[in-house]
Amino acid sequence: MIIDLNQDGKLQGRSDSAEYHKLGQPFHVHGTTLEIASLSPDGLNLTLRHSKAKVAMKSFIAAGHPAPQFTAKDLQGKTIDLQAQAKESKYILLDFWASWCGPCKKEYPYLRRLHAQYQNHGLRIIGVNLDTKLEKAIEAANDEILDYAHVFDGKGWKNEIAQLYRVRGIPATFLLDQDLKIISKGLRGSALEKRMRALLGPGDEAAATAIEKEAQSRAKASSGGTSK
């Protein structure tokens, strides 16, 4: 069921939209919680009734809207507070990934370069890992030199932060400003690099080059020292 929550005359039917609601579950619309009382077999007619369930209205996870705040544990069990991280940076990049995700691996070079290039120039990257085994997440982060904080709870696709941001596929990124407003979502690869350069300038390009050389050296060593 799709409800025009922001009353713009357009319905957003994606499963990760704030306007998408599963049939059979209570939903909240501007101060009122409702549920389906009856539904005709052909699905064309339904009756609603007030519900006593305590359900918050779904928020819009989109550019221009506030980002859901969270406090979670990282790979070492330390607490990551999104609001506290925002106070120490100009921008935060949330990257949802997993060690088994092929498309995620293609993003590793961009992410490690961005971290090296802008970690001292206003960018904080926070990975949100969707592995179920801690050792797999740690191994991937170490091997690929993704040396920034990563949220981990071992719940895979049911990761609490992934649920909060309604992530349905990975890699997924959300770029937030210092006020924790979503600037953009879905930026990857060179498009992400271009956006960060526009926001923060050149940063530390030497550090980005150095980290990539280190990654290439590790890759060469792991392959027995051969290269083409």
CATH of the domain at 181: 3.40.30.10
**How many domains, the chain?**
2
Bridge partners, residue 49, by sequence: 35
Q: Are residues 107 and 43 in the same domain?
A: no
Q: Rounded to a whole number, what is the distance in angstroms from the first to the last CA of the chain?
A: 54
Q: What whole-number distance in Å separates Cα of residue 103 and Cα of residue 108? A: 9
What mean pLDDT do residues 105-119 have?
A: 97
- What's the pTM? 0.86
Q: Which of 22, 37, 58 is the last residue of a domain?
A: 58
Structural domain includes residue 225: no
For tokens 């091997």, the residue is: 143
pLDDT at 11: 86
Q: Are residues 25 and 83 in the same domain?
A: no
Q: Are residues 113 and 40 in the same domain?
A: no
Q: Are residues 99 and 185 in the same domain?
A: yes
Q: Are residues 91 and 151 in the same domain?
A: yes
Structural domain includes residue 63: no
Q: Where are the alpha helices (DSSP H) in the chain?
A: 82-87, 102-118, 134-143, 160-164, 189-200, 205-222
Q: Are residues 78 and 27 in the same domain?
A: no
Q: What whole-number distance in Å separates Cα of residue 170 and Cα of residue 26? A: 28
Amino acid at 204: D
pLDDT 10s digits, 16-29: 888 888 888 999 99
Q: Are residues 40 and 101 in the same domain?
A: no
pLDDT at 189: 96
Structural domain includes residue 226: no
Mean residue pLDDT across the chain:
93
3-state helix vs strand vs coil in the chain, percent to 5: 30, 25, 45
Q: Are residues 32 and 85 in the same domain?
A: no
Q: Are residues 167 and 88 in the same domain?
A: yes
Containing structural domain, residue 15: 1-58
Q: Are residues 39 and 113 in the same domain?
A: no
pLDDT at 12: 84
Q: What whole-number distance in Å separates Cα of residue 67 and Cα of residue 174? A: 9
Q: Are residues 89 and 192 in the same domain?
A: yes
Residue 225's pLDDT band, with cuts at 50, 70 and 90, is: low
Of 36, 42, 39, residue with least CA distance to 21: 36
Based on its alpha-carbon atoms, the radius of gyration of the chain, rounded to whole angstroms, reads 21
Q: Are residues 29 and 50 in the same domain?
A: yes
Find all residues with CB under 8 Å of 69, minimum gap 6, and list them: 82, 83, 180
